[in-house]
């Protein structure tokens, strides 16, 4: 945005334009009028009047469902209070949940009928990025992460040890480079084997008789063991610039010619190997974004519009040089029969709107804030209509679909409301029925135990379900707050309910016909610098039946893509369809401390400090700087990806232990102050960081952290946004 545009937007801030029943903040009104609506066949007044009608008709249902959440929580609290100190009775507890309509009957067997789904979602298993939509640099890095360099990924991460002369140094280390080449050749041999010998001995690749051929140092030649893996090439047949291979629906591009550093002396003239990496990316308006007012929302919406038009760009300085980053173009190759092959150059994009519990004053109806999720849907869908109409430089969906992920839904009634909201938006924006595809985040307990019923409500537009351990754990702790003290946070990762929840998500998705039709996803790898550990463990998500899984960076996507070559997810899903169904009883298991277990003072102190440090490390940036997602050093200085979901579990965990007397309020204050000093030290090199320990009584981020814990029990469903929004607005107004 130019300086003039910024000044103009600030001048319009807090001013409203009256349109029918709505008062629309001026910056938002002009964004829609001047940038989003043109060329969409949607008139501005029609857009806002349609939104007013939608809010008028659906907001009462939205409010009623939020009230039902509170009513159910109150009944569950009362149930646990009426059974203090007694052995938990799973059968009685389950019947109680059925009686209060928390647990509903499963629908009869059915299959989803979603149509016009892009291959990236239906047929190509692969990594998925989740990126804060308010950060254009991250956004462009992610959209361009469809293809990633194996050479860069191996060389720059701990997937290759620094022992035996392989240390990463400021200058290029040729020994480490040789290890990168060896590792990459092993990858090619494993998944793109030659008819004989190995890629390590090839001195030249060329195209012969419409096949990929390889020449060895001894003068002999061979071809691929599976010739159909060869897709196309660029350059000339006898001296190609690159060639394209395919395995498990994932493509690998071998680049030939004079390279830099790693491939400079390669005897086969390979200077890099690029693989399809981030097949899809969720552009996030929610947990990873600190968007608390109209100004913030404009940034989020404008970035999404730029993606849908293909115009998003960012200019920055590097080593004294001005660099402009833009969206990558598609790739073209010459096929074996001389036809042109076009490959998508960018990750397929979904957008995650906020949950139905939030409101925004960017638009007022009868003087009151409106549900933010309704505004999100209308604006992001209208922006995406440019893609549907082919108005942009690039195409996102090639099947005419718009992919919207809905978070924080509790049970099938809320999914039904979201489905009606989607239908109304389609009518208002002139979109064909079911153009808006829905992703359901299976991250709330009432959704987990009723997942089949939730999917049934969205069966004509469903394209995605995904487990979210952290939000799901936060909701589990809050829901059963009165049942007793929960086990330490790390132990929850091995709790009965969590394993059952993860398995059930896949089983239900497959049962409902999602194989070859939609994505069944798994959650984030939270340690972006620990790639060697990721490569050893994250393949378990594929073994569990997920055809996509979240990663924290483009390099992580490149490395994680290797897992999808190693394991055939489709075959694994087929096998899992024959397994015994997980019982809902297991998912309802409550992770409580054994009544006979006595935690030591050191155990309690460690748990409290670990949670407090995580809360402060995240909130200091969210509230203090408006950063919704970042690498936050933990108590051991290990960088972890933190967002509102990690904050929810940590704050609810402390609130639970406070409520049950394991820790006191004084101990919380003492721990928070100790950890705040550590967080200040960890951020000492950040010029924009304001230390909390200078004055705890006036530090808004510190006070937000205290609120999140001491007021944790009273927050609806344990959500953190109500406190975060208030404190961030307070910080911005200073």
Active site (catalytic) residues: 352, 643
Whether 185 and 171 have beta carbons less than 8 Å apart is answered as no
Phi/psi for 224 (5° steps) reads -65, 145
Measure the CA–CA gap between 314 and 463, rounded to whole angstroms. 31
- For residues 457-486, b (16+ Cβ closer than 10 Å) or e, as one string? bbbbbbbbbbbbbbbbbbbbbbbbbbbbbb
Q: Judging by beta carbons within 10 Å of its beta carbon (0-12, 13-18, 19+), is residue 390 exposed, middle or buried?
A: exposed
User: Using CA of residue 612, residue 616, residue 617, residue 619, what is the dihedral sign?
Assistant: positive
Which positions ≥6 away from 471 have C-beta within 8 Å?
A: 287, 407, 408, 441, 443, 444, 645, 648, 649
Phi/psi for 97 (5° steps) reads -65, -35
Rg (CA), the chain: 26
Measure the CA–CA gap between 338 and 515, rounded to whole angstroms. 33
| Kind and range of the H or E run holding 6 | helix 3-12
Measure the CA–CA gap between 732 and 734, rounded to whole angstroms. 6
Q: Which of 143, 129, 114, 142 is nearest to 464 (CA)?
A: 114
The residue to which tokens 């530090």 are assigned: 699
8: left (phi over 0), alpha (psi -120 to 50) or beta: alpha
Whether 181 and 307 have beta carbons less than 8 Å apart is answered as no
CA 420 remoteness from chain centre? 24
């Amino acid at each position: 945005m130019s300086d003039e545009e910024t000044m103009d937007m600030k001048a319009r801030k807090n001013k409203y334009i009256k349109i029918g029943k709505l008062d629309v903040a001026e910056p938002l009104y002009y964004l829609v009028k001047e940038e989003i609506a043109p060329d969409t066949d949607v008139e501005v007044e029609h857009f806002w009047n349609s939104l007013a009608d939608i809010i008028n008709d659906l907001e009462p249902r939205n409010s009623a469902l939020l009230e039902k959440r509170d009513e159910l929580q109150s009944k569950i609290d009362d149930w646990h209070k009426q059974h203090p100190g007694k052995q938990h009775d799973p059968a009685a507890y389950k019947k109680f949940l059925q009686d209060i309509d928390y647990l509903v009957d499963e629908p009869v067997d059915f299959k989803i009928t979603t149509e016009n789904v892009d291959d990236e979602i239906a047929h190509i298993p692969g990594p998925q990025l989740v990126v804060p939509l308010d950060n254009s640099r991250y956004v462009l890095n992610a959209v361009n992460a469809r293809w990633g360099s194996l050479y860069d990924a191996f060389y720059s991460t701990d997937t290759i040890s620094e022992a035996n002369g392989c240390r990463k140094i400021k200058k290029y280390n040729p020994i480490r480079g040789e290890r990168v080449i060896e590792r990459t050749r092993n990858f090619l041999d494993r998944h793109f084997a030659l008819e004989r010998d190995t890629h390590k001995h090839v001195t030249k690749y060329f195209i012969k008789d419409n096949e990929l051929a390889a020449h060895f140092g001894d003068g002999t030649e061979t071809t691929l063991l599976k010739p159909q893996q060869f897709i196309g090439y660029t350059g000339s047949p006898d001296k190609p610039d690159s060639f394209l291979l395919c395995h498990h629906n994932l493509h690998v591009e071998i680049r030939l010619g004079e390279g830099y550093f790693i491939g400079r002396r390669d005897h086969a003239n390979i200077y890099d190997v690029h693989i399809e990496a981030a097949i899809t990316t969720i552009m996030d308006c929610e947990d990873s974004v600190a968007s608390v007012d109209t100004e913030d929302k404009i940034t989020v919406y404008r970035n999404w519009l730029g993606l849908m038009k293909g115009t998003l760009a960012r200019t920055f300085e590097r080593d004294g040089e001005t660099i402009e980053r833009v969206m990558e173009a598609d790739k073209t190759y010459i096929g074996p029969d001389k036809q042109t092959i076009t490959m998508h150059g960018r990750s397929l994009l979904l957008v995650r709107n906020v949950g139905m519990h939030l409101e925004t004053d960017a638009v007022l109806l009868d003087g009151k804030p409106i549900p933010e999720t309704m505004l999100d849907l209308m604006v992001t869908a209208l922006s995406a209509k440019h893609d549907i109409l082919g108005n942009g430089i690039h195409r996102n969906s090639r099947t005419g679909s718009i992919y919207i992920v809905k978070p924080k839904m509790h049970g099938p009634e809320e999914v039904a409301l979201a489905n009606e909201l989607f239908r109304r938006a389609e009518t208002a924006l002139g979109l064909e029925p079911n153009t808006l595809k829905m992703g359901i985040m299976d991250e709330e307990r009432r959704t987990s135990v009723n997942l089949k019923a939730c999917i049934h409500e969205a069966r004509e537009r469903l394209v995605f379900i995904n487990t979210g351990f952290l939000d799901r754990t936060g909701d589990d702790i809050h829901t059963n707050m009165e049942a007793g003290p929960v086990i330490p946070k790390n132990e929850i990762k091995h709790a009965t309910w969590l394993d059952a929840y993860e398995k059930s998500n896949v089983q239900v998705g497959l049962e409902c016909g999602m194989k070859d039709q939609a994505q069944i996803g798994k959650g984030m790898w939270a340690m972006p610098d620990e790639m060697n550990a990721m490569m050893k463990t994250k393949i378990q998500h594929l073994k569990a039946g997920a055809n996509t899984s979240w990663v924290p960076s483009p390099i992580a996507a490149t490395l994680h893509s290797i897992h999808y070559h190693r394991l055939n997810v489709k075959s694994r899903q087929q096998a899992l369809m024959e397994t015994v169904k997980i019982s809902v009883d297991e998912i309802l298991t409550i992770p409580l401390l054994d009544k006979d277990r006595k935690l030591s003072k050191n155990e309690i102190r460690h748990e409290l400090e670990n949670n407090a440090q995580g809360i402060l490390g995240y909130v200091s940036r969210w509230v203090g700087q408006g950063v919704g997602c970042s690498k936050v050093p933990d108590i051991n200085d290990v960088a972890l990806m933190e967002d509102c979901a990690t904050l929810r579990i940590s704050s609810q965990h402390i609130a639970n232990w406070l409520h049950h007397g394991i820790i006191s309020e004084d101990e919380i204050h003492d721990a928070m102050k100790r950890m705040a000093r550590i967080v200040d030290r960890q951020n000492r090199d950040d010029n924009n960081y304001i230390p909390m320990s200078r004055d705890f009584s006036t530090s808004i981020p510190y006070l937000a952290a205290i609120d999140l814990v001491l007021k944790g029990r009273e927050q609806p469903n344990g959500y953190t946004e109500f406190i975060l929004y208030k404190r961030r607005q307070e910080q911005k107004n200073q």
